[in-house]
Structure 1
Amino acid sequence: MSATRVLVLNSGSSSLKYQLLDMRDASRLAAGLVERIGEQTSHLQHTCVGTGATREQHGPIADHDTALKTVGQELARDGLGLDSPELAAIGHRVVHGGMFFTEPTVIDDAVLTEIERLIPVAPLHNPANLTGIRTAVALRPDLPQVAVFDTAFHTTMPESAARYAIETKVADRFRVRRYGFHGTSHAYVSRATAELLGRAPQDVNVIVLHLGNGASASAVRGGRCVDTSMGLTPLEGLVMGTRSGDLDPAVIFHLRRVAGMSMDEIDNLLNKKSGLFGLCGDNDMREIRRRMDEGDDAARLAFEIYVHRLKKYIGAYYAVLGTVDAVVFTAGVGENAAFVREAAVAGLEGLGLAVDGERNAVRSGEARLISPEGARVAVAVVPTDEEMEIARQTYALVGNSG
């Protein structure tokens, strides 16, 4: 029997998130997270899905090589080791693929070189992704390793959506354009929404709202992205947990000239001290809701700014698509915060958008419609599954080669 398992790795600068999946039935076999790699307080949590057993380790894990070897040991305890002949490939999440990578790609030296060349536009993410890849290649050099890029789904955007209105020579020389992120989530959710509607992806126009601590919107026409809210970096677009989203670029010049802030200070302000956190001191939507219920004006204003920006993007992408079959909410806030979903479409009845109060209030891990029966435009909640999407793309590329 051919190998059918895919190990998905998402490597951060000090973390390693993983899932092992069997693509015969798209089932999860194991999952876990290694945190604080390189510190004395490293922590690993591992779950064997088949038995439901969860194990934890505390103590120093020096580097990603040690982290992956430790993960391999935990998998081996469940009979799922990295040396298993049933392991078909390792799929890696890579945040930035630029315009070069438009599809999942089998990793070789040339691919690694190109990912490295993209570090200037993804300085926080691509170096960590490269570390994870090199670690996995060293452990299993015989195994196909596949890069699945966050930006790939958005490479179908027309130039009219992807280009900024700055001098073309400068933009081209320094690769300044809209790339978009959360692409694996937008790909998975837009396709799953079509399935929920009982239609083929190529026959459906969807607005996807990926609302977590990071947040992004996309306009998907017939299964292809035609616009997205994040840009050169994940800073552009919606109001997020700690990121500002859209703002006048001259704010940066103003803070530099008038406030005397350094570029690093401004970068830190816009990425880590803005968004909901900057507006009210909290970036947890549950806490913001609690404060709103207690009459907290700062929390209320932060929420209203968040929702205002959401509505602007829904309306903008409705215009981009022309006709819309569904607006879908996903990720931590989108899947769990019914009051956010209700507020985001309130007043948009003229566009055919509404939520049914009872349906919207239901908590479920399943994809579901929350719009009223017979609504002109479906409003849905579809839990995202980026690891499954990475595994699916990885296996589609290499699964039949064995």
Structure 2
Amino acid sequence: MFRTGLLVKFGIVRITSSCSLVQTSVKWCSTSANLFLKQTDSKTDEHLSSEPAWVKTPLDKQIFSASDAKSLLMSVEHQNFDGRCAINVVNILSRWVSEGKFTVSDFQKLDSKAKLEENLLKGEFSVGLFGTLQALKGLLLLGFKPNSKVVESLENEILWLLRKITLGQHLLVMDYYSQMQESARHQQVIKEVVSNVQRRWVEIVEAKDFVSLFKHAAHFNPKFIEKMEDVLVELVQGFSQEDQTKILVILGATQRRSTPLLRALSYHLNKRSDKLSVRLAADILFALHRLSFHDHLLMERICNDLVTQLTPEVKSSTIGSLLTSLGQLKYRHEGCLDAVCDWVNHNWTKVRYQDVLSLTLCLAALDFLPSCWEPLWEKMSVLLRQKRVSSDLSKFIQLDLAWSLAVLNHLDLETGQSVLNDEFMGELLGEAFLNLPLIFFF
């Protein structure tokens, strides 16, 4: 985008210069013309460079430049239209559906739909794995059933491609298929991917592949996943700080608590001399909480790094995540808590209500009042009173908030009475059975 802007800018300079030269001397006319031709050529080159790699023939250009479904599907009648062209048409139509420019019902009414399907059934796509996966997702978006012959045609192509693609691409297939409805052919593809990954496991060496593997661990033999965790213990030292964090986060998300792997990750994260960014710190603390893994050396290191990095550019949502994790980990680092509260106090205009709730619950859970508490509480109390009537908080969060205010010696009579009555307790018990996973445990 920036390159395009610069080209346009330089183009304007050339036009202006050429115009002034024409006014001063006829001798410069040829120079002006040459500049204009160069400018035109550069624009043409710029247009060509913006075309995707699959645009190779005049028919491809016709498909790529189509502005609506009617002009796009005129290409279906072309004598050279084949399975590869059909894939590209499907990808464009599905993109338009995602952008709201086209609807599934419009697609069902198209006269050329049958001929498009006919070409998809013939095969011979030659668009590679990514293009085929995109088209498969696009067909489902356009209303095709997972067990339809057209979808199965593309899945047969994927089964064929599995014989010659890398192991990382196998895991990419797994990522795509996790977003789709199951069918008999769907299960066959997953089974083939799992078989190939377990057979070629020595090829898994990159952090992103381990992340994908753990994300889909439910499809694999538990013993195989345990073996890969042991393999990762030896490899994790060579990963970047960000990759180590990603692995820790996926372990937290999937609740995989391999103690040797967690110890290796925490050791190497703590060992690095470069500071952890605020984003990585928030991710690590969240993962530690999810795994109930209280590594005090790592948590102290994280909090020490955070103290000097809480700039106004930090997002309120990140602050809320930090507060929630620190409260749930029951880790009291006074320097970090003071810095976070100071950030909230000085950046109040962009602080979200839910992050104020997280701050209240965190301070109560850790029994801590920051040095800026008085001016901070003045702002917090006004917001909490304003939101009390209109808020649709769950009963459990309302109870947690009342408890937190009591611990902080700021529980007012109205808030206390709102939770200490038979009606509230009845609703609380009813909600416990319906929304048990939503309970906040502090």
TM-score scaled by structure 2? Answer: 0.20
Q: Which has the higher contact order (CA 8 A, sep 6+)?
A: 1
Find the structure with the greater CA-based Rg.
2
- Higher strand residue share: 1
- Higher helix residue share: 2
